[in-house]
Amino acid sequence: MTEPTPTVADADDALLRLASAVRATGYRFVTVTPATHQRVNARPGNAWARGLEDVFGWSRPFRPEVLPRGMFDLMRRAVVAVPHGEGGWRSSVRLSTLDGELFLHSAYPTTDPDAVFFGPDTYRFAAAVAAHLEARPLPVRRAVDVGCGAGPGAIVVAKARPSAAVLMVDINEAALRLARINAALAGAGNAAACRSDLLSGVAGGPLDLVIANPPYLVDPAERAYRHGGGPLGAGLSLKILDAALGRLAPGGTLLLYTGAAVVNGHDPFRAAAEERLAADLGVGWTYREMDPDVFGEELDAAAYAEADRIAAVVLTVTREGQQPHA
């Protein structure tokens, strides 16, 4: 007799309980680049999981007995236990730690079209958001994380500004599901999720803070979490800039963490952004390289045949003017 398929609500509840149970063990895992992940998993002795970090961090096949009592049952209820050869299983989700919180995201390898990414870019993005909030003198009443993925940026904002209404938006339903669960796991009750293409589905007036960590690579498969569009992957980043410029409140800020391919010492993304910003006399902006060399393996691809490097950059744009009183 087959078990009944859990409802979506039951599966979500079980996934939240699973993540809470994993957190209660003291679990910690820092997610690395896919290239590093592959190298570590290929080492002798790493073919099968021996503990929680192997199951929920390194995405290794496992047998139920390596898990604490009751945890495999929660995995089954959450529909994240996937059969694997030789009587084993795999988790379809990973769990990563960031600033004391735990985040659900897609298992390695992230090959599915709706995979929910989390990795070194996420840590840099979250650090940039936290630094901005620490330095920001103005209150944040309405904030939006565009292309929120698993929701780490939005949750950083929600935890730091508990009186703010924080919206997590994405076109990926799998991402929105995990973002909702991650917000509940973090106790960020002021963070909500909804489907929106850029800011088109965000109702209401001007925004005090827009943050985004969009995909910025050229991906031949055009996977949503990875492909930025345009000749060098900057297409989506520029669309986010355009959308945010029309929605920032006086004193409102766009913080855009993205990647920029540098060609013969020239940064085409910065040049395109600067052209747009020059046409809007009501904003001030800064641009900095947070990491000068990321995803170096991508330079072997035809799309980057002329590129020197890919840099991780942060563009911060602030609408001038006095913020109105609440």
Query: What is the tens place of the pLDDT at every residue in 145-181?
Result: 999 999 999 999 999 999 999 999 999 999 999 999 9
30-72 pLDDT, tens digit each: 999 999 999 999 999 999 999 999 999 999 999 999 999 999 9
Mean pLDDT of 257-273: 97
Q: How confident is the model at residue 236 (pLDDT cuts 50, 70, 90)?
A: very high
Q: How far apart are CA 231 and CA 224, in angstroms?
A: 16
Instruction: Judge whether residue 2 has pLDDT over 90.
Output: no
Q: How confident is the model at residue 3 (pLDDT cuts 50, 70, 90)?
A: low
Phi, psi values for residue 44, rounded to 5°: -55, 135
How far apart (Å, rounded) are the C-alpha atoms in residues 122 and 211? 12
Q: Would you state the pLDDT for residue 171?
A: 96
Q: What is the pLDDT of residue 223?
A: 80
Main-chain dihedrals φ then ψ at residue 232, nearest 5 degrees:
-125, 20
Mean pLDDT of the chain, nearest integer? 95
- Please check the confidence at residue 325 and state whether its pLDDT lies above 60: no
Q: What percent of the chain has pLDDT over 90?
A: 90
DSSP class per residue in 46-66: -SS--SHHHHHTS---B-GGG
115: pLDDT strictly greater than 80:
yes
Find the mean pLDDT for residues 25-32.
97
**Per-residue pLDDT at 326 exceeds 70:** no
Name which residue leads in pLDDT, 313 or 224.
Answer: 313
The 8-class DSSP code of residue 119 comes to S
Q: Compute the CA torsion angle 245, 313, 295, 155 (nearest 10 deg).
A: -70
Average the pLDDT over each of 67-71, 221-225, 302-306 and give the range with the smallest value: 221-225
In this predicted structure, what is the pLDDT of residue 221?
81
Q: What average pLDDT does the segment 195-204 reach? A: 95
Distance CA(85)–CA(61), nearest Å, equals: 9
Pairing state between β 165-170 and 191-195? parallel
Domains plus CATH for the chain? 8-106 (no CATH), 120-319 (3.40.50.150)
* pLDDT score of 299 more than 90: yes
Q: At residue 324, does pLDDT exceed 70?
A: no
List all residues 6 or more positions away from 316 whose beta carbon is below 8 Å from its beta carbon: 132, 253, 254, 255, 256, 285, 286, 287
pLDDT given for residue 225 in this prediction: 81
Q: Quote the CA–CA distance of 148 and 212 in Å, as a whole number.
A: 7
Predicted local confidence at residue 161, as pLDDT: 98
